[in-house]
Amino acid sequence: MKNLYHSAIAKEKYDAIIIGSGLGGLTTAVFLAKAGKKVLVLEQHYAIGGFTHTFKRKDFEWDVGVHYVGQVHNDDNLLRKAFNYITDGALKWEKMDDVYDRAIIGDKKYEFVSGRQRQIDKMIAYFPKEEAAIRKYYKEVEEISGASVMFFSERTMPVWLSNITGRLLRRKFLRYARMTTVEYLNSITTNKEMIAVLCAQCGNYGLPPAKSSFAVHAMIIDHFLEGGNYPVGGAASIHRTVTAVLEKNKGVVAINARVKEILVLNGKAVGVLMENGDEIFGSTIISNAGIHNTYNKLLKSAAVSPELIADVNSILPSVGHACLYIGLSKTDAELGLPTNNYWMYDNHLIDDSFDWHLDHKFSHSPLTYISFPSAKDPSWPARHPGKATIQVICSLPYEWVQEWENEKWKKRGEEYEAVKQKITDHLLEQLYRVVPQVKEHISIAELSTPVSTRHFSNYPAGEIYGLEHSPKRFESRYLRTRTKIPGLFLTGQDTVCVGIGSVLFAGIITSVAILNRNVLMRINRYNKLKGKN
């Protein structure tokens, strides 16, 4: 098997060892490799890519974490330029429909359209008496997104420099990050229906308005204001193109390579201990395994202060989810399936509905999200002729299925299957509300739960969004690229926030901290030269 870990890998000494092949880890790896560093990426799963990988059943395949990405359709956007740099321009994107998200709240429908001003106009048309509040909201969303660059860049600084300038760089962002989304919205309007509509995409960061930080809400909303895009070839084309560039620059990626421990000698991270007993040594160790995994599992307690552990563990993991993967025996064109996503809510009382849901085990989620990945991908018809796929997602707390966490995958028993069937039936009912024409053409309908996510991703609570995006998350002084252990760095979504763009940015700031170079200049230089070819 290509990229399979073998003990000969441990005989080499590396400039950088990266734990986890999610996009944050791979992005960091490419920047370091292009800077001439000898890089090794270790992936515990049998597939590269973290939540950018795909899986197959018969004639179908589905992504597991990439549903749409903003901004990359614009050649002048930094995110697009960064993707060009880490993939050598090989990754292509397809723009989604002009209406990229549709929300159904109770019996009312709302559209999210490409273009900041057009979306503002759309919201004013829905709520004409709230024009002043709407304009204020979108203005501050843009300001917060800008302030986030300084906030997260500060996390690359050495402690001494952060102590001098950090407070100033963090101040504006934290003013909003310390508020919940609903606290901010209540400060500009009393219209509860409008608040629900403005929060309809909250599933993108995994918390309802009363619990989420307004800063993360603003960043995600701003990210998608110009519309959504999908990687041509599916989500796996992201990690494939990045890995190809890494290997071209002599980097190594190994799968089935589970790290047991980060080795710390005389207070410095010096390597990793593999589960098979191999020790691999490197000048720099980068963890893309998530904050909880890094500090609670990969580091011995003697290497980490009790204060740090308490701070990290005080931030809860994001809520788990169930995903129904559907394969259809007809094409998207034949069935008239859209490229836009659906956000469906029982009513506009989003926080009350989620509170009730979380207090009643195995109750139906008040949110259903529907995505049509094959319709978004122009390469799908040639790769999978006569087929189409859909994903239907809802919240599902890990605690509800935790009793089956130690059972073997696909062999968790009748009671577990009965729980899955109940959820499947509900999600199909929701699906038929928006695309009833698919009902007679379903070939496969397979449900995953948080214990499946835990099995494959090694996240302890089966969470795909890492740490919950609460105000407390952004207050922490330990969620930084630089750790207090010399030689150990962090990357990935826990160091910035959820989303493909944020994770790529996490890889960039980790690279800046390690290389002590302005890698943005490299990105811009690459794209400028590429444009001349």
Query: CA 419 to CA 132: how far, in whole Å?
Result: 47
The pLDDT of residue 99 is 98
The pLDDT of residue 459 is 82
Residue with tokens 């002048």: 76
Res. 89 pLDDT band, cuts 50 70 90: very high
Res. 302 pLDDT band, cuts 50 70 90: confident
* H or E element, residue 38: none
Say how many C-beta atoms besides its own lie within 10 A of residue 268's C-beta.
14
Q: What are 257-269's pLDDT values in tens digits?
A: 999 999 999 999 9
Q: What are 455-496's pLDDT values in tens digits?
A: 877 888 888 899 999 999 999 988 989 999 999 999 999 999
Q: Burial level of 59, CB count in 10 A (0-12/13-18/19+)? A: middle
Torsion, CA 39, CA 42, CA 48, CA 50, rounded to 10: -110
The pLDDT of residue 153 is 86
Q: Where are the alpha helices (DSSP H) in 321-449?
A: 332-335, 350-359, 373-376, 380-383, 414-434
> For residue 215, which amino acid is it?
A
467 vs 163: which has the higher pLDDT: 467
Tell whether the model's pLDDT for residue 295 goes beyond 70.
yes
The pair phi, psi for residue 4, each rounded to 5°, is: -65, 135
The pLDDT of residue 197 is 98
Estimate the crossing angle of helix 519-532 against helix 78-87, to 10 degrees.
80
Query: CA 226 to CA 142: how far, in whole Å?
Result: 12
**Ranges of each domain in the chain:** 7-52+69-87+234-315+476-532, 119-222, 317-456
Say how many C-beta atoms besides its own lie within 10 A of residue 39's C-beta.
27
Whether the CB-CB separation of 183 and 195 falls below 8 Å is answered with: no
- What superfamily in CATH does domain 7-52+69-87+234-315+476-532 come from? FAD/NAD(P)-binding domain (3.50.50.60)
> For residue 114, which amino acid is it?
S
Res. 531 pLDDT band, cuts 50 70 90: low
Residues near 131 by beta carbon (within 8 Å), at least 6 away in sequence: 124
Q: What are 178-221's pLDDT values in tens digits?
A: 999 999 999 999 999 999 999 999 999 999 999 999 999 999 99
* Whole-number average pLDDT of the chain: 95
DSSP labels, 455-473: HHH--TT--SS-B---HHH
Residue with tokens 């509040």: 133
Tell whether the model's pLDDT for residue 17 goes beyond 60.
yes
Query: CA 286 to CA 265: how far, in whole Å?
Result: 16
> For residue 371, which amino acid is it?
S
The pLDDT of residue 155 is 83
Query: CA 412 to CA 403: how far, in whole Å?
Result: 10
Q: Where are the alpha helices (DSSP H) in 5-158?
A: 23-34, 78-87, 116-126, 131-153
Q: What are 377-434's pLDDT values in tens digits?
A: 999 999 999 999 999 999 999 999 999 998 888 889 999 999 999 999 999 999 999 9
The pLDDT of residue 349 is 97
Tokens of 221: 């909303």
The pLDDT of residue 500 is 94
Tell whether the model's pLDDT for residue 1 goes beyond 70.
no
* pTM for the predicted model, two decimal places: 0.95
Query: CA 525 to CA 367: how far, in whole Å?
Result: 44
